[in-house]
Amino acid sequence: MVKIFYFILIFSIITEVTSYQQQQEEEEDCIVETECPEGWRKFNRKMGAWCISLVVNGVKSQKEAQVNCERMGATLSGIESQGEYSYVQYKGNQINKNLNEVTWLWIGGKRRSECLSPKGSAAECQPMANNAFEWSDGVAVGTSQMRWAAGQPDNFRGNEDCLHMQFDQAQRNGVMNDYPCDQVAGGYLCGKRASILE
Ligand SMILES: [Ca+2]
């Protein structure tokens, strides 16, 4: 009788261990490995891995920056996390130092369609409200990384619907400003989903 008891006990333990190992293997199979092309930096966003690249190339408007990103299979990128913000800040400061001139960068941020000028007079669209703006890359979640320059956003002259980052002075260490969409910039931030490794 005791032998049978021990046999059942050992059999149960082996079954449990085998089941646990199978579960672990299945979970490991579910981990998706991703990568970014050379020169792009990967960040883990809530909606999946995202690659960003800061391009130094003068453009005439935010739209031109968007088109240039699309040529690389990307889009103008928003900024979702502190990690992304710090990286762009670091790269932007590097560029500004090297070029030694005014450096503004187009990023993927704009006034929400219901807040576009001149309609943006509704209470929820007042210039100082973060929720008057949104990221346009379709992946970035939240607006906590919208770091405004002093007194911004101000919708100056009522036509500042696009978001750019400023690196033109030491105190403007990558702060953001709402600005007319048809203005020039020294570069732009592209982003795209990371490739899934087979
Ligand atoms: Ca402004």
Judgement on whether residues 74 and 167 belong to the same structural domain of the protein = yes
Q: What pLDDT sits at residue 59?
A: 94
Distance 70 CA to ligand 1 centre (A): 26
The predicted model scores a pTM of: 0.81
How many helices (H) and strands (E) are present in the chain, helices listed first? 3, 10
CA dihedral over 176, 181, 186, 191, signed as positive or negative: positive
By residue range, what is the domain housing residue 16? 1-31
Per-residue DSSP letter, 148: B
Distance 155 CA to ligand 1 centre (A): 5
- Could you give the number of structural domains in the chain? 2
Distance 177 CA to ligand 1 centre (A): 5
Judgement on whether residues 95 and 51 belong to the same structural domain of the protein = yes
Judgement on whether residues 27 and 50 belong to the same structural domain of the protein = no
Sorting pLDDT into bands at 50, 70 and 90, what band is 127?
confident
Confidence check: pLDDT of 85 > 90:
yes
Record the tokens describing residue 141, joined without a space: 């979640």
At which residue do the structure tokens 């320059």 appear? Answer: 149
Distance 72 CA to ligand 1 centre (A): 29
Which residues are within 8 A (CB) of 94 and not within 5 positions of it... i.e. 6 or more apart?
A: none
Q: What pLDDT sits at residue 95?
A: 78
